[in-house]
Amino acid sequence: MRCTLVIIFLYSCVIFAQDEAQYMPEKIDKVLIITSKGSIFDQARNELVNELRDEFAVSISEIDENTVFNEIDALFGNYDLPKAVILVGNNAIRQYQKYSNLQKKKTEYIQVVTILALDVKNAVAGIANVNAIAYETPMVTALVNFRRVLNKPLSKVGVLYRQAFKEFVENHTRFCSKEKIEIKGIAISDEPSKHQNEIAGALQTLLKKEKVDALWIANDNVLLKPELLGNVWLPALKKNKVPLVVGVEALVNPKLNFGTFAVIPDPVALGEQAAEIIFDLKDDEWKHRGIMIHPSISTYSVLNIKSATEFTDMGNLKIYEVSKVLNGKN
C-alpha cells in the first residue's frame, strides 16, 4: 500500500512538473539601447522602449565623448549577452565600434541597429551584423517638397560635398533630373586646412557664375563647423542671397539666418522603424550578417518664414504643405 502511494505521489509530481514547465514563460531576449544625449535622441529612444518592452528585456545607457571602455564593457558582462544593440547617434556608433574592435569574440554575433546617424554607411564600417537606417533625406524629396512650398520654379540647384557624400550626390542627381532639376555639384577635399578657401570658391562659382536657384546642403558636420558657418557660409550668402535646403532643423532657426527649408526624418518614426527591424531579426533567429542600409520611412518638413519671404511673397507660400513653421518666435 505504501509503495502504491509513493508511486502515485511520484507520478503526481511528474504531472505537476510537466504542467509547470508548460506554463513557464520563455526566456526573454535582451536588447540594449546605447544612445547619445539630446532631445531628438530621447524621442527615438522613448518610442523604441514603447515598442519593445512587452517582448524584450530592454536596457538603456546614455553615453558621451568621455565614456570609457570599462563603462561600455560593464553593459555586456561575460554571460547572457544581448541579442541586439541599438545605437542612437554617431557618438554611440563610434563608442561601440571601438569596443567591438577590442571585443570581437564577445560581439561577433550581436545584431546591431543604428538610427539618427550622419553618413551612416561610413560610420558603421567595421561593425558586424548591421541594419542601419539612413538619416539623410533623399535630395530629390527635399527639393521637390521645397519647390512645391515655395510655389516657384526650381530648375538649377548647387551642391557642395565631400568624398563621403559623392555616391549619394551622384545617385540623387539622376533622380533630380527626372524632376527637371539640374544639380551643379562641386566636390570639396577632405583636407580641413583647405576647406575655408574651397567652400568660398565653390560658393562664388555656384552663386555668381552658375546663378543657381537654391543650394542643397548635406548633413556634413565637417563642412558645417561653426567656424566655417561664421567665416565662410554666412558672409557669402549675405552678399548673394539664395534659398538653402538643409537636413537639420537647427540650421533652419531664424535666429541663425542660414537655412530656408529642411526635410528631416521623424525621430519617433525612426524609433518605430528600428523596433520593427528588431522584431524581424528575432523572427529570423538573429542570423543577419553584413551591413544593410534602410531608407527612413517618415519625414517632416520645417520652413523658416523669415528666409522664405526673401524669395517669394508670403501669400505665395503653401504653408499648409509644411509640418512646422518657424518665424523667430517659436
Among 173, 191, 190, CA closest to 182: 173
CATH class entry, domain 30-136+266-298:
alpha beta
What is the DSSP code string of 291-309? Answer: EEEE--S-EEEEEEHHHHT
- Across the chain, mean pLDDT equals 88
Helix (H) or strand (E) holding 111: strand 111-115
pLDDT of residue 328: 67
Tens digits of residue pLDDT in 251-300: 999 999 899 999 999 999 999 999 999 999 999 999 999 999 998 988 99
CA 205 to chain centre: 31
- Residue 206 DSSP code: I
Residue ranges per domain, the chain?
A: 30-136+266-298, 139-264+300-326
Q: Average the pLDDT over 156-175 and give the result.
A: 90
> Per-residue pLDDT for 12 more than 60?
no
Share above pLDDT 70 across residues of the chain, in percent, rounded to a whole number? 91
Tens digits of residue pLDDT in 58-90: 999 998 888 888 889 889 876 789 999 999 999
The C-alpha atoms of residue 121 and residue 158 are separated, in whole angstroms, by 23
For 139-264+300-326, CATH number out of 1.10.357.10, 3.40.50.2300, 3.30.930.10, 3.30.420.40 equals 3.40.50.2300
Contact 264, 296 (CB under 8 A): no
> Per-residue pLDDT for 21 more than 70?
no
> Per-residue pLDDT for 25 more than 60?
no
The C-alpha atoms of residue 31 and residue 273 are separated, in whole angstroms, by 15
pLDDT of residue 8: 36
Helix (H) or strand (E) holding 262: strand 261-265
> DSSP alpha helices (H): ranges in 113-165?
120-123, 139-150
